[in-house]
């Protein structure tokens, strides 16, 4: 039946979906609301600055009174979490506080769930199973931490009393970010069902927020604005002001440029002029980010969208061929540029990115079914980085969000995440094939652009970007389902219930496998580094003339010692006297921090290394060595197997 809202862009509500589980069961809804409600209540009840109470309480109250208004407020404010933190002088994760306040207000009030756009069955099942995967991963990490007396209770107290301040050791914060994103997408669909006119107001809010972020970047770049923000920009040296990661900022602006272009294609007259102004402003933000990947992703997504529009009257085969051609050209151009950059001696990103990917694959191979634990990639990376990367970084993220999810949650986790994305993509593709809606095309292109950047960076690890993405993701899915409902007869589909019932056995088996994988992870104990030259940079053991056993190193090499070791003595020498070889400087580092330098000659020299403390549950410390130059022992020493 038609929408009762007298707007040209109103969405017709279909009758093909029953109410979601959280609205059919008060127990499920209140269980899901417990965490955001506690975090929000803690801000309001415990000692916190009054400005923070006002902000969080205002968003929660607004979401309780009007979910649509609460969602708009969240979309407007969430990108400025780091900015609000600096301006208010409070060390809180402000974006997450705003999102949890919205979710608490939205879930707390029970309401009838109107029929309309909803999560596809496969998508809903994948979401619930992904949530189970995250919970099991956190539980396994908590079990490992429990072996250290007092640490698990202390971590629990910190999370309960000051969730937005203290980091945790078991992955609660990282897991919550992912699940909060899924919840935001579902909440956006609910608001579509409740208030169809949000199809216009939500894109406007997202793009206005991006325009404000771009304007702030320009002002701070010109030393205009609050002194705290200007000083922060000067310290970081970036041309973006609302987040500390310029690549993530580029992904954010690329997404919004595509969305604004789609809305401009839908509008006319003064409205189109307004949308074009938002396109230009967000494009300025994209340019200021200086993110090559984000700019290329925006160009590829825009080209695909343009090809889709231009090929609207072609046959399906011709349309697929044209889109494939655009995609091949875009990827080919990106690949060619990457090759040119690799030949530039001043550019290191391409080669480093390949080594980051290799690190992730080694981590996945170590724990393929359970992963190393949500939120554990950064600390665990020191066990899998190549010696050179460990020397430079010490610890690092994957620089590929999909590989990071796979390494932390295992192959089942990344499979469920991809099913969640793919199920929505299928609905969007069906809608675009049937209905020419520039608004949907722009929203989908923006989602695609950000997902492309996830192949070379991790924008979804940044709260300010991740929450905006999931809102636009829900927006694109809502627009797609609404278009399909408007284009097809509105009738009930009794076979939908049968399809859902078929998911239960598969979902139950998958859930059991997820729990079993977590149990196996606990039984196997801490992850260990692979015994490979690509990780430690050491050759096989040999025996010197004096009977002492030794190992040759490459230009970079690493040693692993127990985490409780604070001092290590490493004997080293260069066992031949040649003018071009000895003496040779050897530098020692740990965790990316230089600890000392020693000159080593043809007699044994002891490198005494004082190691920094490591936080549990880490079991190993990594000691990284770097020699001034390499040489080929096999050319000088009979029987030497190393060719460095």
> In this structure, what CATH number is given to the domain that contains residue 610?
2.60.120
172-194 and 67-77 are packed helices; what angle lies between their axes, rounded to 10 degrees? 130
Residue 624: which domain range? 537-635
As a whole number, mean pLDDT of residues 593-619 equals: 88
As a whole number, mean pLDDT of residues 29-39 equals: 91
Residues paired with 562 in a beta bridge: 620
Residues paired with 593 in a beta bridge: 590
CB 206 within 8 A of CB 259: yes
CB 240 within 8 A of CB 210: no
Four-residue CA torsion sign, 263, 268, 270, 273: positive
Give the C-alpha separation, 216 to 605, whole Å.
Answer: 56
Q: Report the percentage of the chain scoring pLDDT > 70.
A: 84
Please give the residue that has the higher pLDDT: either 506 or 358.
358
Find all residues with CB under 8 Å of 480, minimum gap 6, and list them: 424, 427, 428, 430, 431, 432, 440, 444
Please give the residue that has the higher pLDDT: either 132 or 121.
132
432, two tokens:
């675009």
Residue 559 backbone dihedrals phi, psi, to 5 degrees: -125, 150
Give the C-alpha separation, 450 to 254, whole Å.
Answer: 7
In the three-class reduction of DSSP (H, G, I as helix; E, B as strand; rest coil), residue 333 is classed as helix
Please give the residue that has the higher pLDDT: either 631 or 223.
223
* CA 229 to chain CA mean position, Å: 25
Beta strands in 483-555, from DSSP E residues, in sequence order: 542-543, 549-550
Residue 445 has pLDDT above 60, yes or no: yes
pLDDT at 15: 46
227-236 and 81-88 are packed helices; what angle lies between their axes, rounded to 10 degrees? 120
198-221 and 246-266 are packed helices; what angle lies between their axes, rounded to 10 degrees? 140
pLDDT at 368: 95
- DSSP H helical segments within 78-150, as ranges? 81-88, 94-108, 121-145
Residue 330 has pLDDT above 60, yes or no: no
pLDDT at 335: 54
Chain position carrying tokens 């295992």: 410
Write the pLDDT tens digit of every residue in 615-629.
Answer: 888 889 999 999 988
In the three-class reduction of DSSP (H, G, I as helix; E, B as strand; rest coil), residue 587 is classed as strand
Give the C-alpha separation, 44 to 56, whole Å.
Answer: 8
Is residue 544 in a domain? yes
193, two tokens:
């069902």
Find all residues with CB under 8 Å of 580, minimum gap 6, and list them: 631
Name the domain count of the chain: 1
Residue 223 has pLDDT above 70, yes or no: yes
Is residue 619 in a domain? yes
Give the C-alpha separation, 520 to 517, whole Å.
Answer: 5
Chain position carrying tokens 């050209």: 329
CB 562 within 8 A of CB 620: yes
Write the pLDDT tens digit of every residue in 523-563.
Answer: 998 999 999 899 999 988 888 777 888 888 888 999 999 99
pLDDT at 347: 45
Is residue 552 in a domain? yes
Is residue 630 in a domain? yes
Residue 270 exposed, middle or buried by CB count within 10 Å (0-12, 13-18, 19+): exposed
Least confident of 108-122, 146-160, 215-229: 108-122
Output DSSP code: residue 156.
H
pLDDT tier, 579 (very low <50, low <70, confident <90, very high otherwise): low
Residue 358 backbone dihedrals phi, psi, to 5 degrees: -65, -40
pLDDT tier, 37 (very low <50, low <70, confident <90, very high otherwise): very high
- Side-chain-side CA neighbours of 213 within 13 Å: the count stands at 40
Find all residues with CB under 8 Å of 536, minimum gap 6, and list them: 387, 529, 557, 558, 559, 560
Give the C-alpha separation, 163 to 104, whole Å.
Answer: 15
Four-residue CA torsion sign, 360, 362, 366, 368: positive
Residue 578 has pLDDT above 70, yes or no: no
Is residue 145 in a domain? no
Please give the residue that has the higher pLDDT: either 425 or 546.
425
208, two tokens:
């206005």
In the three-class reduction of DSSP (H, G, I as helix; E, B as strand; rest coil), residue 331 is classed as helix
As a whole number, mean pLDDT of residues 113-122 equals: 78
pLDDT tier, 589 (very low <50, low <70, confident <90, very high otherwise): very high
- Side-chain-side CA neighbours of 193 within 13 Å: the count stands at 21
pLDDT at 625: 93
Is residue 567 in a domain? yes
As a whole number, mean pLDDT of residues 225-240 equals: 71
Give the C-alpha separation, 256 to 297, whole Å.
Answer: 12
What b/e string do you get for 448-474 counting C-beta neighbours within 10 Å, with b at 16 or more?
bbbbbbbebbbbbbbbbbbbbbbbbbb
Give the C-alpha separation, 444 to 101, whole Å.
Answer: 27
pLDDT at 441: 94
Is residue 587 in a domain? yes
- Among 532, 534, 526, 541, which Cα is nearest to 621's? 526
pLDDT at 1: 35
- Element of type H or E holding 569: strand 567-572
Angle at 619 between CA 616 and CA 622, to 5 degrees: 110
Is residue 578 in a domain? yes
- Among 5, 354, 328, 441, which Cα is nearest to 198's? 5
- Among 194, 214, 122, which Cα is nearest to 496's? 122
pLDDT at 8: 41
Give the C-alpha separation, 35 to 168, whole Å.
Answer: 16
């Amino acid at each position: 039946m038609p929408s009762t809202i007298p707007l040209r862009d109103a969405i017709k509500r279909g009758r093909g979906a029953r109410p979601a589980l959280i609205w059919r069961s008060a127990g499920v809804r209140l269980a899901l609301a417990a965490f955001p409600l506690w975090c929000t209540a803690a801000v309001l009840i415990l000692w916190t600055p009054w400005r923070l109470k006002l902000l969080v309480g205002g968003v929660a109250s607004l979401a309780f009174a009007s979910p649509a208004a609460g969602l708009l407020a969240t979309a407007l404010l969430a990108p400025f979490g780091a900015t609000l933190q600096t301006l208010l002088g409070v060390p809180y994760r402000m974006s997450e506080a705003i999102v949890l306040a919205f979710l608490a207000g939205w879930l707390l009030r029970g309401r009838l769930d109107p029929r309309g756009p909803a999560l596809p069955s496969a998508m809903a099942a994948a979401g619930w199973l992904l949530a189970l995967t995250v919970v099991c991963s956190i539980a396994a990490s908590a079990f490992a931490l429990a072996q250290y007396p007092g640490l698990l209770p202390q971590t629990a107290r910190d999370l309960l009393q000051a969730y937005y301040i203290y980091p945790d050791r078991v992955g609660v914060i990282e897991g919550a970010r992912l699940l909060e994103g899924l919840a935001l997408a579902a909440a956006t669909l609910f608001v579509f069902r409740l208030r169809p006119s949000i199809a216009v107001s939500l894109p406007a809010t997202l793009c206005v927020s991006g325009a404000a972020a771009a304007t702030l970047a320009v002002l701070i770049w010109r030393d205009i604005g609050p002194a705290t923000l200007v000083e922060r920009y000067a310290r970081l040296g970036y041309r973006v002001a609302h987040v500390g990661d310029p690549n993530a900022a580029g992904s954010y602006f690329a997404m919004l440029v595509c969305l604004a272009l789609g809305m401009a294609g839908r509008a006319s007259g003064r409205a189109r002029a307004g949308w074009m102004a938002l396109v230009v402003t967000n494009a300025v933000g994209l340019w200021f980010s200086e993110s090559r990947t984000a700019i290329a992703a925006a160009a590829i997504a825009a080209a695909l969208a343009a090809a889709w529009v231009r090929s609207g009257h072609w046959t399906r085969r011709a349309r697929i061929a044209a889109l494939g051609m655009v995609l091949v050209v875009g990827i080919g151009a990106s690949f060619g540029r990457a090759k040119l950059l690799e030949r530039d001696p001043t550019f290191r990103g391409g080669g480093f990115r390949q080594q980051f990917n290799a690190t992730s694959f080694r981590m996945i191979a170590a724990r393929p079914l359970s992963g190393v634990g949500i939120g554990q990639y950064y600390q665990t990376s020191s066990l899998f980085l190549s010696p050179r990367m460990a020397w430079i970084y010490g610890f690092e993220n994957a620089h590929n969000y999909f590989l990071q999810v796979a390494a932390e949650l295992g192959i089942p986790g990344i499979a469920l995440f991809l099913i969640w994305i793919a199920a929505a993509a299928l609905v969007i593709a069906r809608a675009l094939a049937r209905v020419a809606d520039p608004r949907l095309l722009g929203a989908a292109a923006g989602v695609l652009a950000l997902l492309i950047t996830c192949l070379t960076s991790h924008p979804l690890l940044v709260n300010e970007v991740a929450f905006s993405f999931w809102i636009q993701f829900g927006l694109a899915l809502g627009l797609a389902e609404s278009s399909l409902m408007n284009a097809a007869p509105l009738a009930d589909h009794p076979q939908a219930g049968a399809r859902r019932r078929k998911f239960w056995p598969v979902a139950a088996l998958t859930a059991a496998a997820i729990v079993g994988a977590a149990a196996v992870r606990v039984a196997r104990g801490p992850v260990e580094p692979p015994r490979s030259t690509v990780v430690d940079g050491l050759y096989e053991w040999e025996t010197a003339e004096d009977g002492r056993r030794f190992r040759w190193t490459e230009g970079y090499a690493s040693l692993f010692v127990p985490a409780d070791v604070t001092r290590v003595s490493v004997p080293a020498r260069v066992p031949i006297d040649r003018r071009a070889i000895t003496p040779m400087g050897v530098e020692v580092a740990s965790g990316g921090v230089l600890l000392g330098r020693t000159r080593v000659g043809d007699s044994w020299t002891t490198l005494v290394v004082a190691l920094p403390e490591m936080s549990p549950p880490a079991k190993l410390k990594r000691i990284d060595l770097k020699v001034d130059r390499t040489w080929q022992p096999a050319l000088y020493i009979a029987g030497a197997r190393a060719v460095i």
